[in-house]
Every structure is written in structure tokens, then in C-alpha cells.
């Protein structure tokens, strides 16, 4: 396939295929062979001409692992007396006042949500179909692009299984919130920084979508300054095209994992980049039947806590100046959504239903909200942060957001910060009242 060309193929479930692409050290032209995702619209990318320099010796982004996926046979967590409840798409959409928007015809139609991830999920199509059928969502078939070729799935790899769960979670919940939007999954060859950035750059340069969701992260002290500058340039290019970028703020409170996998006191990148809308976590309490919003505090339980704090790399952007007086660094998160095990979301994965926690599903849901906002506005809205913080300092703030004032994000021995009125470095501006917020963003 010549440079600059792309072809679209129909890949059959259970088949194997090969395509020539440049992946790590593929300047010699190896043949990348992989198990197919299934009957998806697969768009192999054109070969790139240069490698993005590798970062460090171990540069895997942190993703969900099996410990964060709790299989609940028969959806027992839906029982009104379950000690740790879980929520369906209808309940989440009700809690955050989305149902009237979606039922009124704003579904994300005409929008494309790009989900960046590593490796692949070989059961995505069957799991997604089950999820949609169970919860009354319209069937959808995501597009899949692998810029460096699709990596063969290794079921013995904990890292690959973690990414597979991440993919299932992000696709299902972005679709649940914006059921009319197209989902375009862009798969890096691995979870390494260089591969992830190359996939992101490909999505931007080829204008693959309107909203980009990034449910991964690492301590911003891990990548080199050169890598962060290159990443920032890609994000600036995305915004020049009118794309909206979101990323999860992390699941370990005031800490984040660095290059060797250990925790350090740091905020997460790419969430800390000021071009990105960083999504934190809450503990949502909603009616067990209707999903009506009852209360919300910062996410902090034995399973994790909302990532948040202040960047040591990026300076406080102008849109945060009215909200942050005692720190010169970029503060994250910007917004939040339910993330606790005491209010997890239901995900179909490997043929079973289970519950997933963390800022990963929260980010995918906010990507869906951004797609709804684009459709309502009638055009791409680009960077959300300036618009969000404009609402945050307006008289409409209390109606447009649930201001999270309780809780803090001390976790795993790392002292955190408290939530409080208005913006805070644990839950940002809070969680959305979508029916009120979207017209204000538009």
C-alpha cells in the first residue's frame, strides 16, 4: 500500500490477516499478522516514515486490570439491597440529566468519537452487541484503524487483557451516552508512549473524528520534556482542526504510576496538558431503580481515588486563573463523573457482564457528552475547557453542575487535597447536569 493511501476492508470473525506496515523497528519491512477483531470496518493505515523516539525503558500507560472488573452473575449488583450498587446506561443518563436530551433527538448523530487504545480486544463485537441488546441501545459497528498494524492478541498477557477491558469499557460507554455517534477505535501497536502518540497523531492528521477520548495515563515526571512537547504539538494540531480532547485524571488520588510502575506524587499526563479536558471521579449515589441523582462526593474508597493535583510541567492556563490563586501550575481535573466501586458501571466483557470503576469509563462518558454538545451546537466546538470554565464562573454554574464539596483524594499513603466549593483539584468543576450544561456550551 503506497504512503498516504488507506484501504477499507471487511474483516471476518475468527479470521487472520496480515498487512505491511511500519511498527517498532519495521524499517526492514516485516509482515505484521494478527487475529482479527471480527466483522468490523477495519481501515489499515498507511505506513509512516519515521519512528517516534521511545521514552524511557518501560513506558506503558496504566490501564484497567482484572482487579477493577468484578464479574456479577445475573447483574446482582442491580439488586436494591446490594452493598455495592452498579448502574446501567439508563440510570447514568438519568442521574446526569441526559435522557431528556437524548430522547429529544440529540444523540451525537453526525459526530465521530475517536478512542485511542493499545493492542486490541478480540471479543469487542460480540460483547458490544450483547451490551446494546441488553440495555436497549441501537446496534453499532465501530470503525477500527491500526496505524502500525494490528498486534496479535496474546491471552496470556496481563497488559493486553487490561487494554482489552479498557477498549470494551470505552466503546460501550461512549456509545451509551452518544448512541447516534460513530465510534472510531484507533489502536496503537502497544501501550508504549511512542506507539500511543503515533496513533494519536495519525487520528489528528487524518481528521478521523470530532472528539478524542484517552482513558490512560502516567506520571508526568515519566516522559521526557521532548516527548511532552511533541505530544503538546499534536494536541495543538487537534484543536486547530476543531477537535475536542479528553483524558482520565487517574485512579490513585494524588499519586500516579511512573516509568517503573511505582507510585510517585504526581498528576497524570496526558490529562495535565492544558489542551486536554481532564476527567476525575466521584462516588455517585442514585436511585436504585430510576437512577435519579441523590448525592455525590469525591471518589475515594479502598479501590481507588480521583486523580488530581497541580502540574509541575504546565503553568496554570488563563481559563483557570479565576479559580486558582495559590498555585501557578495547571490544576486537574477539569470535570468529573461517577467512578467508585460503590456505583460502578456495567460492562460486557469476554461474554460476561461485570462492573468497572475508575476515571476511564468517566472519560468515555464525557466524550459522549462532548459529541452531544457538538451536535446541539451544529459544529465542532474544539477545546472544551474555556467554555466549561466560563460556565463555572457564571450565575448558571449551580444549575449546570453538581458542585462536589465533600471528600478528598489521599490514597496509598500519598497526602491529597480536599474537594470544596467551585473548582477543586479532586473533582474539578464537578459532574454535569447535561440538559442544562449543553445549551450553555453551545
* Domain assignment of residue 336, yes or no: yes
The β-bridge partners of 252 are: 305
| Widest CA span in the chain | 60
Where does the pLDDT of residue 193 fall: very low under 50, low under 70, confident under 90, or very high at 90 and above?
very high
What pTM was computed for the model? Answer: 0.87
Range of the domain at 314: 60-441
* Domain assignment of residue 2, yes or no: no
| pLDDT surpassing 80 at residue 179 | yes
Is residue 184 within a helix (H) or strand (E), and if so which, with residue range? strand 182-188
Indicate left, alpha or beta for 376 from its phi (over 0: left) and psi (-120 to 50: alpha): alpha
| Cα–Cα distance measured from residue 126 to residue 436, given in angstroms and rounded to the nearest whole number | 35
Domain count, the chain: 1
* Domain assignment of residue 244, yes or no: yes
Separation of first and last alpha carbons in the chain: 41
Q: Sign (positive/negative) of CA torsion 278, 95, 77, 139?
A: negative
| pLDDT surpassing 60 at residue 4 | no
Report strand pairing: 335-338 vs 277-286.
parallel
pLDDT tens digits, one per residue of 241-279: 999 999 999 999 999 999 888 999 999 999 999 999 999
Where does the pLDDT of residue 34 fall: very low under 50, low under 70, confident under 90, or very high at 90 and above?
very low
Q: What is the pLDDT of residue 68?
A: 60
pLDDT tens digits, one per residue of 146-173: 999 999 999 999 899 999 999 999 999 9
CATH code of the domain covering residue 408: 3.40.50.200
Q: How far is CA 389 from the centre of its chain?
A: 20
* Domain assignment of residue 157, yes or no: yes
Mean pLDDT of 65-75: 57
Mean pLDDT of 5-25: 23
* Domain assignment of residue 31, yes or no: no
Where does the pLDDT of residue 348 fall: very low under 50, low under 70, confident under 90, or very high at 90 and above?
very high
| Cα–Cα distance measured from residue 335 to residue 319, given in angstroms and rounded to the nearest whole number | 14
* Domain assignment of residue 169, yes or no: yes
More confident residue, 46 or 325: 325
Q: What is the pLDDT of residue 29?
A: 21
* Domain assignment of residue 131, yes or no: yes
Helices (H) and strands (E) in the chain, counts: 10, 26
* Domain assignment of residue 49, yes or no: no
Amino acid at each position: 500500500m503506497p504512503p498516504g493511501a488507506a484501504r477499507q476492508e471487511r474483516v471476518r470473525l475468527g479470521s487472520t490477516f496480515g498487512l505491511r506496515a511500519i511498527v517498532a523497528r519495521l524499517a526492514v519491512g516485516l509482515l505484521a499478522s494478527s487475529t482479527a477483531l471480527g466483522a468490523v470496518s477495519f481501515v489499515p493505515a498507511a505506513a509512516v516514515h519515521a519512528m517516534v523516539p521511545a521514552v524511557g525503558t518501560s513506558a506503558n500507560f496504566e490501564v484497567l486490570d482484572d482487579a477493577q472488573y468484578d464479574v456479577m452473575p445475573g447483574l446482582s449488583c442491580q439488586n436494591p439491597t446490594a452493598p455495592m450498587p452498579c448502574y446501567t446506561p439508563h440510570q447514568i443518563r438519568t442521574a446526569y440529566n441526559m435522557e431528556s436530551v437524548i430522547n429529544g433527538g440529540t444523540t451525537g448523530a453526525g459526530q465521530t468519537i475517536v478512542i485511542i487504545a493499545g493492542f486490541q480486544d478480540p471479543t469487542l463485537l460480540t460483547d458490544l452487541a450483547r451490551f446494546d441488546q441488553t440495555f436497549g441501545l441501537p446496534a453499532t459497528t465501530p470503525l477500527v484503524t491500526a496505524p502500525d498494524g494490528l498486534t496479535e492478541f496474546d491471552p496470556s498477557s496481563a497488559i493486553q487483557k487490561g487494554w482489552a477491558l479498557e477498549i470494551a469499557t470505552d466503546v460501550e460507554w461512549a456509545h451509551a451516552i452518544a448512541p447516534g455517534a460513530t465510534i472510531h477505535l484507533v489502536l496503537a501497536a502497544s501501550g508504549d508512549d511512542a506507539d500511543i502518540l503515533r496513533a494519536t497523531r495519525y487520528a489528528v492528521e487524518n481528521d478521523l473524528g470530532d472528539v478524542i477520548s484517552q482513558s490512560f495515563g502516567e506520571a508526568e515526571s515519566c516522559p521526557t520534556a521532548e516527548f511532552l512537547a511533541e505530544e503538546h504539538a499534536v494536541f495543538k494540531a487537534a484543536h486547530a482542526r476543531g477537535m475536542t480532547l479528553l483524558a482520565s485524571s487517574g485512579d490513585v488520588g494524588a499519586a500516579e504510576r511512573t516509568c517503573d510502575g511505582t507510585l510517585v506524587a504526581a498528576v497524570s499526563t496526558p490529562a495535565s496538558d492544558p489542551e486536554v479536558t481532564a476527567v476525575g471521579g466521584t462516588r455517585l449515589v442514585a436511585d436504585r431503580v430510576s437512577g435519579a441523582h441523590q448525592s455525590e462526593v469525591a471518589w475515594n474508597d479502598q479501590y481507588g481515588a480521583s486523580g488530581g493535583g497541580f502540574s509541575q510541567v504546565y503553568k496554570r492556563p488563563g481559563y483557570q486563573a479565576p479559580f486558582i490563586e495559590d498555585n501557578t501550575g495547571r490544576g486537574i481535573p477539569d470535570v468529573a463523573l461517577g467512578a467508585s466501586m460503590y456505583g460502578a458501571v456495567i460492562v460486557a466483557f469476554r461474554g460476561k457482564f461485570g462492573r468497572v470503576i475508575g476515571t476511564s469509563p468517566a472519560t468515555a462518558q464525557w466524550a459522549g457528552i462532548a459529541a452531544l454538545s457538538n451536535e446541539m451546537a451544529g459544529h465542532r466546538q474544539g477545546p472544551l475547557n474555556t467554555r466549561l470554565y466560563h460556565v463555572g464562573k457564571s450565575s448558571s454554574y449551580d444549575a449546570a453542575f453538581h458542585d462536589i464539596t465533600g471528600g478528598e483524594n489521599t490514597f496509598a499513603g500519598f497526602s491529597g487535597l480536599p474537594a470544596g466549593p467551585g473548582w477543586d483539584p479532586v473533582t474539578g468543576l464537578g459532574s454535569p447536569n447535561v440538559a442544562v450544561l449543553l445549551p450553555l456550551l453551545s
